[in-house]
Amino acid sequence: MFTGIVTDVGEIASIDDQQGTLRHLRIHSAFDPATIAIGASIACSGPCLTVVAVGPRAEGGAWFEVDAAAETLARTTAAQWQVGRKLNLERSLKIGDELGGHLVTGHVDAVATIVSRDEVSAGDDPWGPTARFVIRVPRQLRKFIAEKGSVALEGTSLTVNGVEDDTFSVLLIPHTLTVTTWGLVKAGDPVNLEVDLMARYAARRAETEALVNP
């Protein structure tokens, strides 16, 4: 379980594709290798991946290795990742940690698409402009997106500003653009989408009640 609050931006150092059904990735990060256990879960730009190897880097920080299996490759952007790609990283939530975002499972529902990115003038703000993104989701997931609700995109917890048919918008502040990969995102890019957990169960309950009480 995660919160969608990114704690590091890592970089893919190597990829080993194994017969199209598994991608073995080595990722460089600023995490302390002594705090990463084999079998630990780390959210990598959305999908929750299991650490299968870890070690220290000479320049500081850690390298860790994960496997992206067939289901992850089919539902996320992981099949398109290349060496050098930046990834939003988050360690799994511990009991007692601050829940700064919303409950995120790391189970990506689908790949959404950035329709547009517009820089919003911040006037004399020394931190720079914010950015408004419009995102198109697969039509079957529209029912899970609600104005002022939560959504996880690229592993980042964001608030939905507005919804129109199969698109919705989010507004990112300068800090988020700086400390995540969102500063690099542009129109046309695919992004990993995880809908809000509570919205998922609320929709399922409504469907079940409709079947019982037509």
Give the pLDDT confidence of 185-195 residue by residue, as tens digits: 999 999 999 99
Task: Identify the band that residue 197 occupies on the pLDDT scale cut at 50, 70 and 90.
Answer: confident
In the prediction, which pLDDT does 25 show?
Answer: 98
Task: Report the C-alpha gap between 118 and 154 in whole angstroms.
Answer: 18
Which two three-digit tokens encode residue 202?
């609320």
Task: Check: CB of residue 103 under 8 Å from CB of residue 3.
Answer: yes
Mean pLDDT computed over every residue of the chain: 92
In the prediction, which pLDDT does 21 show?
Answer: 85
In the prediction, which pLDDT does 207 show?
Answer: 67
Which two three-digit tokens encode residue 191?
């992004």
Residue 214 has pLDDT above 80, yes or no: no
Q: Which of 155, 3, 148, 161 is nearest to 88 (CA)?
A: 155
For residue 47, what are the contacts with CB-CB under 8 A and spacing of at least 6? 68, 72, 76, 78, 106, 107, 108, 192
Q: Of all residues in the chain, what percent carry a pLDDT higher than 70?
A: 92
Residue 32 has pLDDT above 80, yes or no: yes
Owner of token pair 């870890």: 54
Fold designation for 110-198: Elongation Factor Tu (Ef-tu); domain 3 (2.40.30)
**Comparing 8-91 with 110-198, is the CATH topology the same?**
yes
In the prediction, which pLDDT does 14 show?
Answer: 98
Cα atoms found within 13 Å of the Cα of residue 12, Cβ hemisphere only: 21
Residue 168 sits at the vertex; the CA angle it makes with 162 and 169, to the nearest 5 degrees, is: 70
Residue 94 has pLDDT above 90, yes or no: no
Residue 51 has pLDDT above 70, yes or no: yes
Segment 11-35 mean pLDDT = 94
For residue 115, what are the contacts with CB-CB under 8 A and spacing of at least 6? 134, 135, 136, 167, 187
The H or E element that residue 212 is part of is helix 197-212
Q: In CATH, what class is 8-91?
A: mainly beta
Residue 76 has pLDDT above 60, yes or no: yes
In the prediction, which pLDDT does 129 show?
Answer: 81
Active site residues: 2, 41, 48, 50, 69, 107, 159
In the prediction, which pLDDT does 210 show?
Answer: 63
Q: Which of 64, 96, 91 is nearest to 4 (CA)?
A: 91
Looking at the whole model, is its pTM more than 0.85? Answer: yes
pLDDT digits (tens, 9 = 90+) for 110-164: 999 999 999 986 556 666 789 999 999 999 999 999 999 999 999 999 999 999 9
Q: How far is Cα of residue 39 from the mean position of the Cα atoms in its chain? A: 20
pLDDT digits (tens, 9 = 90+) for 56-74: 999 999 999 999 999 999 9
Q: Where are the domains of the chain?
A: 8-91, 110-198
